[in-house]
Structure 1
Amino acid sequence: MSAAGWFIVLLALVGANLPFLNQRIFACVPFGVVKKSAWIRIGELIVLYFAVGALGFMLEARAGNRFEQGWQFYAITFSLFVVFAFPGFTFQYLLKRR
């Protein structure tokens, strides 16, 4: 696997956890409420999935061998993106805080 492939995997791991590790929208825009709702976090997760996917397609096209993908590819990659988000979800919702 090339360096660009590993970069996309690492970027997907960071992007999937980003909505859960802070209280800002996309880690830069302050949110008015003290704590973001789960729906906003899910929305961020979906937007970040498409952003990482677009960057992956750009790197693939730049390498010169862009392949057409069916719905199965998108279903699997979104499922993998949600699995990558598990550490951030665990930190935000499942750990007990004092």
Structure 2
Amino acid sequence: MLLTYPGWRNRTRVIEKSFLVRLLEMLVFYALVGVLGFAFEVNIGNSFTQTWEFYAITLSLFVVLGYPGFVYRYLLRRRKH
């Protein structure tokens, strides 16, 4: 839900953002979710060390799960009022 937030936030206005800004926004949200997950893991017990494969997979999942927000924002037709 956090990654789809930018697509739903301003669906009535036209927003001009560059690809770099959108990429940076996605990475900041990914880091926020990672920090929250790490804090939850430390809170319930011991933390586990992760390698680069873990981060590659979770980033891929983060992008895939954010796709519905992209579809809703850019691909669905809106009715003209």
Instruction: Say what the alpha-carbon RMSD is for the aligned residues.
Output: 1.7
CA distance in 2, matches of 1:53, 1:86: 19
Higher relative contact order, chain-length normalized (CA < 8 Å, sep 6+)? 2
Which amino acid is the alignment partner of residue 93 of structure 1? Answer: Y
Q: Structure 1: 5+ residue runs without aligned partners?
A: 1-13, 24-32
Q: How does 1:11-90 map to 2 (within 5 A)?
A: 14-23=1-10, 34-39=14-19, 40-90=21-71
Cα deviation, residue 97, structure 1: 2.3
- Structure 2: give runs of 5+ residues left out of the alignment: none
Q: Which has the larger radius of gyration?
A: 2
Rounded to whole Å, the distance in 2 between the matches of 1:36 and 1:63 is 42
Q: Give the TM-score normalised by structure 1.
A: 0.69
Structure 2 counterpart of 1:21, one-letter code: W
The number of aligned residues is 76
Report whether the alignment pairs 1:93 with 2:74: yes
Which consecutive aligned stretches of 4+ in structure 1 deviate over 6 angstroms post-superposition?
Answer: none
Q: Distance in 2 between matches of 1:35 and 1:61?
A: 39
